Amino acid sequence: MNAKALINIKSLEKSYGQTPVLKGVDLQVYEREVVAIVGPSGAGKSTLLQIIGTLDKPSNPETCTIDILGFNTVKYADKQLAHFRNKHLGFIFQFHQLLPEFNAWENVSIPALIKGLSLNEAKDKAVQILSDLGLKDRLNHKPNQLSGGEQQRVSVARALINQPTLILADEPSGNLDTQNAQNLHELFFDIRDRWGTTIVVVTHNVTLSKMADRTISMEDGKMV
């Protein structure tokens, strides 16, 4: 493949106490790919995603390679990792994790404010992205005034606001009905085509895994 590898992981190990969760994982993900990671519960999928996203650390930092977007994240201090995440990564979770006291555009604007944009700049970007995602009429609605599908679109907009190179999604459609799940899956490919974003999705959804450019299977902490 001629495309650039945005994720290059070799010999990754992760244990919690005496329990090994990842056992010598190798993974490459390339520019503009939509990659699905599938496997049974307990296979290590979410742990792998957390390490890619620098939210967790390997158990063998001296002997593994974790190269994310050209950065050797194993060597970064926590403060550097927080800046790296905010600048380069977007996250989407099964439970959207929207703040209930803020409306849609306010929730979406938070990563941009952390990045240093003014409130007006952040609001303008948030409004534009929400409008692009079909939520122009929901800008001032709080999460409890939105449907499940709309809430998840708000979380997608939040992931997009800093124009990340890489989006990491953990069971993003796990809490949605079939139609909203399908809409979300199609949205991922629209995002890739429109913004050139690379997307890695952990999913149990067979439809999404079949739509992906590439599907990677995990079992018992290993690629299979």
Segment 92-143, tens digit of pLDDT: 876 667 999 999 999 999 989 988 999 999 999 999 889 888 889 999 999 9
Q: What pLDDT is attached to residue 79? A: 87
What's the confidence (pLDDT) of residue 160? 86
Counting DSSP H helices and E strands in the chain, the numbers are 7, 10
| List of the chain residues with pLDDT < 50 | none
Domain segments of the chain: what residues? 5-220
Q: What is the pTM of this model?
A: 0.86
Please check whether the domain covering 5-220 is classified as CATH 1.10.580.10: no
